[in-house]
Each structure stands twice: as structure tokens, then as C-alpha cells.
Amino acid sequence: MTLKLRGALPLTALLLGMVAPIATPAFAQTTTQTDGEVRLRRIEAEVRAIQRKVFPEGAGKTFVPEITAGQTATTPAGTPAASAVTDILARIDAMEAQMTRLTAQVEEGQNRAAKLEERLAKLEAAAPAADAPAPAVSTAPSTAAPLATTPKPATTAPTAPKPAATAPAKPATPAASRVAAVQAIEKPATGDAGLDEYNYGFRLWEAKFYPEAQQQLQIYVDRYPKHNMISFGRNLLGRAWMDDGKPGTAAQFFLQNYLADKKGARAPDSLLMLGTAMVKLKDTEKACGAFAEMAASYPTEIAGRLKSQYDAARASVKCK
């Protein structure tokens, strides 16, 4: 590795240029000593520059110098120049050794930095791009809610996570008799579009056309999320799936209805049916949790309108 500092000649060229004149016996002693001292001081300056680059924080972190200034001594007249030349060569050798160690340290530091960057790149590549969403609840049955026209005013509750959308199952090509029976069910036309959609879904469910009721009630829930019958609609959508033998899907709609508006007209019904669905799915812990929540949140309903249904559902599972 050829190291250049502040416009100086490459180190190899510098040393060669220094050694050549020293080795030539034709030069006089005074010229050799002066030229050698100048070059030696130049190399020492370059070493100090390298030390400042390797240890930029300053004092206390540079190498202890291995080369010290020579003792000033009076050379007796007539003494050959060999001793001065030998001293200069020894000092140059020491400087080269120190320069080699400094160069090796720089290269080692660069190598460690490259490896560290490589490890960081691998760690960043291995990091997950994004947090995976929590899976939606996949269980819970419930009891159908009767048709109502004057529900209790709903109070907006904290927004709950929306369950994973479940596409209504497309019924297999229905028989002509079934198509005719479904078409025979009249869709109301009261002037309240939302109420008409809900009532039509209720009629389909009541006639036990569960797949058709699922599709119709999903249309109502999607189009009229602020309608005054929405608590009834979500609960009945869960019932349509429950009565179709799919408690896992039904549970998602029961839980959504309860969390979306805990003061909604059919929130207690949905919580009761969520527990019932868990019983069907043999998840005792969640079933008992739903029943305990209902007892704590809706004591009046348990003692009144939903008493018989709650007692029957609660008796179907052994809770601790």
C-alpha cells in the first residue's frame, strides 16, 4: 500500500531516494550528514502526521517514539563518515518499521469498519418490514335478534378493531323452487332505504334462507353503518351465519357488534351469543369469559328479557 501525506512523494520513493545517496561513498561527510538529517526529519514529520490521522483525539494516544534525537557529539577531526552514515541508516530502518506498523493498523481498522457495515446491512435486511396485524377472532355463535322498529338510542362506543371480512358463501346453483321461494319474499318499501334493507334481510333469515340473508344483511351493514338499526343488523348477520352452521364466522360479527357499541340495543344479545358460539367451538375459557362479561355489564337484561336464554347457555358449560 503506497501512502501519500500532504502532497509528499510516495514513501518507497522517498526512502529509495534517501538510501541511494547515503550508500555512495563519493559524497563528503558534511553533505551526507546534512542531507540525511533533512530527510530523516521529513520522515519523522510524516510519521507524526500518520499518528494524528490514526489517533485524531490527540495527546496520549500516539505511539511512544522508538527513535530519539541523537546525542550531540563532537566528532574528532579526521574521523571517517561511516559512523554518521550508519547512525542515519539505523534511524531510517527504525522509522520504516514504525511506518509499517502504523500502515497495518490503518488497514486493520478499515477492515473492521467494513465488516461492521456488512453486519449492520444484514441486520437491517433481516428486520421485519412491518408489524403483522393481530388475527381476528374466529369463533362465536349467537341468538337471532327479533325485528324491531324503535330500538334504544345507540351511544357511540370506542372504535373496535374490525373483524376480518368474511365473504358470504355463494350458494350453489339453487333449484328453481328455491329461487321462486326467495323471489316470493317481498322487499319492503317504506321510504327509509336503510330500514327496508334490514327488514328484507330479516325476512330472508326468518324464512331460513340463510345464505341469502347473509348477503342481504351484509349489504345493509356496509351501506348504512350509522343507521339506527345497525345494532340489530350486525347481530342478525351473526345469527344468519350461526344458524347456517358456521359459529366461527358468526362469532366475528357478534364480537364486532358488542365492541362497536356496548350500549347498542342488541349488544347484550351479541355477547350472549358470542359465549354460546364458544361453547359450540369447545372453547370453555372464552365462553366463560363472555358469560362473566355479560353478568357484569348487563345485570338487568340477565334478570329480565334474556334470563331464560342466559340461564340455558350458562348451564351448558362448567366455569371455574
Tell me the pLDDT of the chain (320 aa) as tens digits: 444 444 444 544 444 444 444 444 444 455 555 666 777 777 777 777 776 666 665 554 455 454 455 444 455 555 554 565 666 667 777 777 777 777 777 777 777 777 767 766 666 565 544 333 433 433 333 444 444 443 444 444 444 445 555 555 555 677 888 999 999 999 999 999 999 999 999 999 999 999 999 999 999 999 999 999 999 999 999 999 999 999 999 999 999 999 999 999 999 999 999 999 999 999 999 999 999 999 999 999 999 999 999 999 999 999 88
Are 200 and 95 part of one and the same domain? no
- Answer with the one of 74, 99, 119 that is the final residue of a domain: 119
Are 114 and 181 part of one and the same domain? no
pLDDT digits (tens, 9 = 90+) for 299-317: 999 999 999 999 999 999 9
Given this model, what pLDDT does residue 138 score?
37
Using CA of residue 22, residue 25, residue 27, residue 28, what is the dihedral sign?
Answer: positive
Are 296 and 202 part of one and the same domain? yes
Give residue 251's domain range: 176-315
How many angstroms separate the CA atoms of 313 and 190, rounded?
37
Q: Is the residue at 170 inside a domain?
A: no
Q: What's the CA dihedral at 256, 260, 266, 268 to 10 degrees? A: 80
| Residue closest to 199 by CA, chosen among 222, 180, 220, 214 | 220
The continuous run of DSSP H or E covering 280 comes out as helix 267-280
Are 105 and 214 part of one and the same domain? no
Q: Is the residue at 72 inside a domain?
A: no
Instruction: Find the CATH number of the domain harbouring 203.
Output: 1.25.40.10
Residue with cell 327496508: 196
Are 193 and 90 part of one and the same domain? no
Q: Is the residue at 132 inside a domain?
A: no
